[in-house]
Chains A and B, each alone.
Chain A
Amino acid sequence: MSFDIKPSGLLANRLLKAGSAIVLILLTVSLAFGFDFDRLQKTLIQKFGASNVRLLQDWKTLLNDTKTVPEPDKLKQINEFFNRKITFSDDQVVWGKADYWATPLEIIGKDAGDCEDFVIAKYFSLKEIGVPIQKLRLTYVRAKIGGPSSTITQAHMVLAYYATPESEPLVLDNLISDIRPASRRPDLAPIFSFNSDGIWAAGSTAPASNSVDRLSRWKDLLLRMQAEGFD
């Protein structure tokens, strides 16, 4: 039997995907209840040794402390935490791969990451402490290295925060330590933005059937996060 919409996988493959969807549902539901730091710590020690347990504990304390502060403070503290504690480094250097999306635990374990890793860590941290994801966008930007007048450009990713849908976003960047409105970042030209809303069926926080199948980076990331103890 052949259905000629898309190249079809084997039945087993399909079942596997269906299985992942169920895992995702569980994951999404449980994410709302916070991270399991005991398990995260165990995973951290197991994978990266005990050297960065301290960093993890700091992160935990931060998340606890910022739960009740106003949103601007949340942004500030989370942005500062990662920008200060994590060293920027290429995926090639950290992971030996051209492009790799690290989980928050991995970035802490390695104590290093590239722009996407920073954005992901900040995104999930803010989400954890109660910032609605509708206000957050992972944004691909074209960055001019060395200032707005520079002719050298580089693919970069930042986290944009929209206080309201119409407002000018605040940009959380790992390249500069403070949060600035987008208008004060002439060096960055936004190309495309997205958040978890895009991968789920509209209007629901639960993922539609196998919605992340094609967004393999997202799926990969979320699955890895679950394995590590983000549940």
Chain B
Amino acid sequence: MSLFRQIWLTVMLSALIAFAGSFVVSIVTAKGYLEQQLFTQSTDSAASLALSMSQQKKDLATSELMVSALFDNGHFSLIRYTDTKGKVIVERINTTPPDKVPEWFVSLFPIVTSPATAQVSDGWMQAGTVTIVAHTRFAYQSLWEGSIKLFAWILAAGCFSGILGSVVIRRIRKPMASVVDQANGICEYRFVTIDEPKTPELRSLAKAMNAMVLRVKAMLQEQAARIQQLRNEVSQDALTSLANKNHFDNRLISALNDDDVPDSGMLLLVRLFDLATTNQQLGRTKTDELIKRVGQKIQSATGAGNNYITARLTGPDFAILLPGTTEQEGMALASQLIKSLEELYRQGFAPQSNVAHLGATIYAHEQTPESLWARTETALAKAKDIGENSAFLEKVAIADSSEAGKDWVKDILDGLKTHRFATASFPVVDIEGHALHQELMLRLKDKDTSQLWAAGTFMPHASRAGLIPQLDLETVRLGISMLEQQHGAVAINIAAESILQPDFCDQLLVLLNQNARLVKQLWFEVNTLGYQSELQALANLSSKIRPLGCKLGIEHFGRHFNSIPMLHEIGLDYLKVDGSFIRNIDQHAGNQNLLKAICVIAKSVGIATIAERVETQSEWLMLKSLGMDGLTGPIVTTRQS
């Protein structure tokens, strides 16, 4: 029983006992008082009657008249006149029961009236005795009415004290509830501070809890900052803050293999002209300045908020990966970039008018990085041949061009209508290899060939048409129907742009509520870019769906170079750490440090960590020693098949 219920019950019970006690005592007292009054009335009447009769003749008629006169005009249940031998001479009895008074009341509180006697004399001689018993009828009525009034009053007082008790309890309850809520929050790794209540006992408790929460928060912030720092150290070029070669290579492998990324795009390679000479002419500091400027130009040319990856590979080499870009878009970006690099000479940062060349090529899934790099080198050589500050695209024949020219938006809308979607599942296991869940990827069945198109193929089109939320909901539906047929859990990817739409969240909640039985088997993971608005939306979503029992996580954690989110403020169950930090983890001390730090902070706020794109057994072993909780990737998929 809750504390408040106990307090309330105690208050009500003690009030009840007090009131019931006072009620009974009042009635019993009143009853005693009435009995006494009735006896007094009887005694007085007996004395008066005896006195009157003593003065009169003692014949039967007179005696009868005198007794009747008193009886008929008074309130008596018995008047009896007996002679000296005890023989009854006159007797009058009235047994009318009290009206308007229920019988149970009469039997519960019987009013006992004692008979009163007085002696009648005839001159010096004794004539007899009068016995009088007063009638209880009016006493009962009086007692009954008094009891009703008392009961009404007690009832009113009881209600009032009940209301008063409730108000007082509510006053304590509110701050108490917030303290309890805070304590529960801490159990769930939600660290919130609360307003200090006015009640002194609760205030010191809240103060202590707030202080603890603030300390924990500060500690977590410190750890988050450390992760940020480690992440930058391992994946960024120190000079330009672009990605470094290792990170770019890992991301390129993702782009060429992952299911949920566009299956084609462009790779641009930018090389500063004759950096060795420049270095000699300008000196190291100015050369560094030039490189930094180039980095900025590249960054501003590619813009933010997209999935483009920019990197500085080695001394003079910069690379840009443009997933999902068409040839036209890519070359437009390339020529714009070359133009902006040319300006560096006019602005005096570059020593000669020939600043850089750009080689470009188109890539498609399943191609190797080596072949790509070879093509860009060829393109770069051809660009050099063209002249100062020029770009060249090395074209390749793309094997399957049936998707080109297809009206994807129309096809997606049609697919939604006719439910032409399916899912492919990828197993995710815990660190010991036991199944955790199946990660679902959306597939679109071709209308004609019944070929399955991967998400990466149609998602860019859907994104441009704003159809992502609908596709995400379709995936959820497919996941639920899958759960209806088989055991185990499924994980469903939700795009960051979906959770930003309130409509999507409402529809998702409707779906979850309709399938409450299966909700516990659903894991949702969001690919967040790390913007504040997204994190806010994620926290909102978390507060709505996690209480239902489903799990919520972030996928590709660390991929984007925005700030690491404050994990404890969102309310998450798991993180899937981006494959770019996992690849060759057994040989990369920097990534090991980063993962170790992520594991520590995640554990401290109750979040599980899962590694993406694990390929080798030694990576797995390393992940285990670093404290990761689960993994997914080729090694798991091949092991299962």
Identify the A interface with B (CB < 8 A).
1-6, 8, 11, 14, 17-18, 137, 139, 160, 162, 165-166, 168-169, 182-183, 190-195, 197-199, 201-202, 208-211, 213-215
Contacts and interface: CB of A to CB of B under 8 A. Distances in A.
B40 A165 contact: no
Contacts of B116: 198, 201-202, 208, 211
Interface of B: 26, 29-30, 32-41, 43-44, 46-47, 50-51, 54-55, 84-85, 114-119, 121, 123-126, 129, 131, 138-139, 142-143, 146, 149-150
Nearest to A11: B29
Contacts of A168: 124-125
A137 B39 contact: no
Given A3-B146, A5-B138, A190-B121, A209 B35 contact: yes
Given A6-B40, A209-B39, A198 B32 contact: no
Contact of A197 (B32, B35, B117, B149): B117
Contacts of A169: 124-125
Q: Top 3 closest A-B pairs, CB basis?
A: A182-B124, A165-B84, A208-B114
B31 to A, nearest CB: 10
B109 to A, nearest CB: 13
Contact of A198 (B41, B118, B143): B118
Nearest to B147: A1
Contacts, number: 110
A3 B34 contact: yes
Given A1-B149, A3-B143, A201-B114, A160 B124 contact: yes
Contact of A3 (B39, B46, B117, B142): B142
B142 A5 contact: yes
A126 to B, nearest CB: 17
Contact of B34 (A5, A137, A193, A201): A5
Contacts of B44: 214
A197 B39 contact: no
B121 A211 contact: no
A172 B33 CA distance: 39
A210 B123 contact: no
Contacts of B55: 191
Contacts of A191: 51, 54-55
A166 B115 contact: no
B38 A5 contact: yes
21 contacts: A1-B146, A2-B146, A3-B37, A6-B41, A162-B126, A165-B84, A166-B84, A169-B125, A190-B121, A190-B123, A190-B124, A191-B54, A194-B47, A197-B117, A201-B39, A201-B115, A209-B36, A211-B116, A213-B40, A214-B40, A215-B43
B56 to A, nearest CB: 13
A162 B138 CA distance: 40
A1 B30 contact: yes
Nearest to A169: B124
Nearest to A188: B124
A164 to B, nearest CB: 9
B54 A208 contact: no
A198 B117 contact: yes
A182 to B, nearest CB: 3
A191 B116 CA distance: 20
B117 A213 contact: no
B37 A192 contact: no
B119 to A, nearest CB: 6
A61 to B, nearest CB: 33
A191 B149 CA distance: 47
A4 B149 CA distance: 14
Given A3-B34, A166-B84, 4 more contacts: A5-B34, A165-B85, A183-B124, A192-B50
